[in-house]
Structure 1
Amino acid sequence: MRHARNNELTDRRSAAAEAKASLLTAYRAAKTADEPSQAARQAERVSLVEAREARRAERERVKHEERTRLETLAAQEQAAIEAVAAAEIAARQSAENARISRVVQDEAARKAERDRRYAARKARQA
Structure 2
Amino acid sequence: MSGMKQKNFSERLSAARDAKQAMAAKFRQRPGSDDPAVAERRAARAAVSAARDVRLAEREAQRRAENAQRATDEARLAAEREALAAEQAEQEKRAAAEKAANEVKLEAERKAARDARYAARKARK
Normalised-by-shorter TM-score class: 0.7 to 0.9
Q: Report the more deviating stretch, 56-65 or 112-121.
A: 112-121
Q: Alignment partner of 1:8: what SS?
A: helix
State how far apart, in whole Å, the 2-side matches of 1:32 and 1:44 are: 19
Which whole-Å deviations, capped at 9, do the CAs of 1:11-62 have from their partners, x for residues lacking one?
Answer: 32332122111111012x2554243213312321331122122112122112
Query: Where does residue 43 of structure 1 map in the other structure?
Result: 46
Structure 1 segments of 4 or more deviating over 3 A?
A: 114-122
State how far apart, in whole Å, the 2-side matches of 1:65 and 1:72 are: 10
Query: Where does residue 69 of structure 2 map in the other structure?
Result: 66
Q: How many residues align structurally?
A: 115
Query: Where does residue 16 of structure 1 map in the other structure?
Result: 19
| Matched AA of 1:16 | A
Query: Where does residue 113 of structure 1 map in the other structure?
Result: 116
State how far apart, in whole Å, the 2-side matches of 1:108 and 1:10 are: 128
**TM-score normalised by the chain length of structure 1:** 0.72
Query: Where does residue 4 of structure 2 map in the other structure?
Result: none
Relative contact order: is structure 1 or structure 2 higher (C-alpha 8 Å, sep ≥ 6)? 2
State how far apart, in whole Å, the 1-side matches of 2:75 and 2:121 are: 68
Query: Where does residue 28 of structure 2 map in the other structure?
Result: 25
| Matched AA of 1:88 | Q
Task: Using the aligned pairs only, state the percent identity.
Answer: 20
Give the structure with the larger helix fraction: 1
- The answer for unaligned runs of 5 or more in structure 2 is 1-9
State how far apart, in whole Å, the 1-side matches of 2:122 and 2:13 are: 148
Please provide the CA RMSD for this pair. Answer: 2.5
Q: Is 1:104 matched with 2:95?
A: no
